[in-house]
Amino acid sequence: MTQYSANLGFLWKSLTLPNAIRAAKEAGFIAVECHWPYDEDIDEVTQALMETGLPMLGLNTSRGNLVAGENGLSALVGREADARDAIDQAIDYAVHWSVANIHVMAGFAAGEQAETTFLENLRYACDKASLHMITVLIEPLNSQDAPGYFLQTSAQAADIINKVDRPNIKLMFDFYHLQIMEGDVCRHFESLLPIIGHVQIASVPDRAEPDNGELNYRYILSRLAEMGYNQPIGAEYKQSTNAQDFTWMEVLSKR
């Protein structure tokens, strides 16, 4: 049976992170993940994780200057110092909470220099993260929600991973983003399985509960199981129904 990780970047946004972790436990999730936890009280989050027994599977590096519209730093030429500060910060938090994965965000950039910068920052991240048995994730974002984001396709991500040439870098396979950019998601997933480090789901096109929209997740999740993928699936969606309605988990579990 598929098990799910609650993405607390979208779910229970009205709650503090510690209370969102508790809510995830009550709702039946077996893990949590978050976006940017850097304004939270570290010790209170630690207490909530210990109290619930939920592992935190992932967090993101800082987006940078939100007023300037930044969405990650690691592919930005001339911002290498800031990017590495963000990587160091993410690793520090990950170590404190025993987080398995760090999503290193590329940011809005393009061109060969941006790729070189991204590769160098990812090698830095991988080398530091490896000291703590942490995996570095990179994630393509679709061009409708994040126009101008450096990393947009699974093929580009696979090429980056090959060029970084570190054992602890993997692909975040987000079905929502990759359905919009590429389609044929099951075939792409199967071909990329050796480099996939985490999976996230949401409906397409509205990024809501995954039991509606153009993707049949009952079929998709059964295919993932057939391929041998048995890790918790990240529920990274924006709730359109009652905040306590998680019946979609039962719907998707029916085979």
Which residues have a catalytic role annotated? 139, 236
List the structure tokens of 88: 């160091």
Asked if 33 and 5 touch (Cβ cutoff 8 Å), the reply is yes
Helix (H) or strand (E) holding 233: strand 233-235
CA distances, 135 to each of 2, 111, 138, 193, 230 (Å): 22, 26, 10, 16, 17
Is residue 150 within 8 Å of residue 108, measured between CB atoms? yes
The Cα-based distances of 108 to 136, 159, 175, 244 in angstroms read: 19, 18, 21, 35
Please state whether the peptide bond connecting residue 205 to the residue before it is cis, i.e. omega within 30 degrees of 0: yes
Chain length of the chain: 255
Distance CA 121, CA 113 (A): 12
Residue type for position 52: T
Please report which helix (H) or strand (E) contains residue 198, including its range.
strand 196-201
Of 104, 237, 231, 89, which is closest to residue 171 (Cα–Cα)? 104
Q: Are 60 and 87 in contact (CB under 8 A)?
A: no
